Amino acid sequence: MESGRPLDSVIAALDRGLRAVFAPARPSRPVPGEPAASPLPDPQRRASAALMRVNHAGELAAQALYHGQAFVARAPATRDMLMAAARSESDHLGWCAARLTELGARPSRLNPLWYAASFAIGAAAALVGDRASLGFVAETERQVEGHLDDHLERLPASDTRSRAILAAMRSEEIAHGAAAAAAGGARLPAPVCALMRHAARVMTATAHWV
């Protein structure tokens, strides 16, 4: 949190959260891939929509993690890195939202919960210190890479639009993790990594349907 301006920091954090959850996501870059020439068959459309709903929830959670970490970051350089990553995640969120609209599907109804819980987790990680916070970023992005690899395998082969979105997201998530590690991120203990994987599984399994 910026020293000497705690109220401003709180207001800014609330504003970011409300915008992320309730305002339409507007990416600053074009959606990767080309629009489909014809709609997907309904079973494939439903399969893609469920996966993209999970990815939309995941990108909202990632944004919240970065916002929570930046809120209590100690070094301005760490805060700036986290907010830059959050802006990239905002593009990812917009891409997933656009694809859900194309698929005639809705985002998770539990998005406010995903944001609030992820913000709290990010802030708690950052309270330990900037090195632990950056290590949390590196581990989060490592797990996200595996998650996206799984979804790229599970997407219907004909859904090239969703595949292009996830491939673009994957390359940027890897870059975020590498940057955090290079900036001094500490390796997290194995039990913490396992707890992170468990929490992610709960969110993805729920967001698939709700």
Q: What is the pLDDT of residues 129-164, one digit of tens each?
A: 999 999 999 999 999 999 999 999 999 999 999 999
State percent of the chain over pLDDT 90.
65
Q: Is residue 102 part of a domain?
A: yes
Rg (CA), the chain: 17
Domain count, the chain: 1
Q: What is the pLDDT of residue 5?
A: 62
pTM of the model: 0.90
Distances from the Cα of 77 to the Cα of 35, 39, 73, 90, 174, angstroms: 39, 45, 9, 20, 20
Q: Is residue 39 part of a domain?
A: no
Q: Is residue 201 part of a domain?
A: yes
Give residue 1's pLDDT band: very low, low, confident or very high (50, 70, 90).
low
Q: Is residue 13 part of a domain?
A: no
Q: Is residue 168 part of a domain?
A: yes
Phi-psi sector, 33: left (phi>0), alpha (psi -120 to 50), beta? left
Residue predicted with more confidence, 4 or 115:
115
Q: Is residue 43 part of a domain?
A: no
Give residue 112's pLDDT band: very low, low, confident or very high (50, 70, 90).
very high
Q: What is the pLDDT of residue 177?
A: 92
Q: Is residue 158 part of a domain?
A: yes
Q: Is residue 8 part of a domain?
A: no
Domain with 85, as residue range(s), is 62-207
CATH number at residue 151: 1.20.1260
Q: What is the pLDDT of residue 67?
A: 93
Tell me the residue type at 41: P
pLDDT, tens digit (0-9, with 9 covering 90-100), for 7-37: 677 888 888 888 888 887 788 899 999 988 7
Q: What is the pLDDT of residue 84?
A: 87
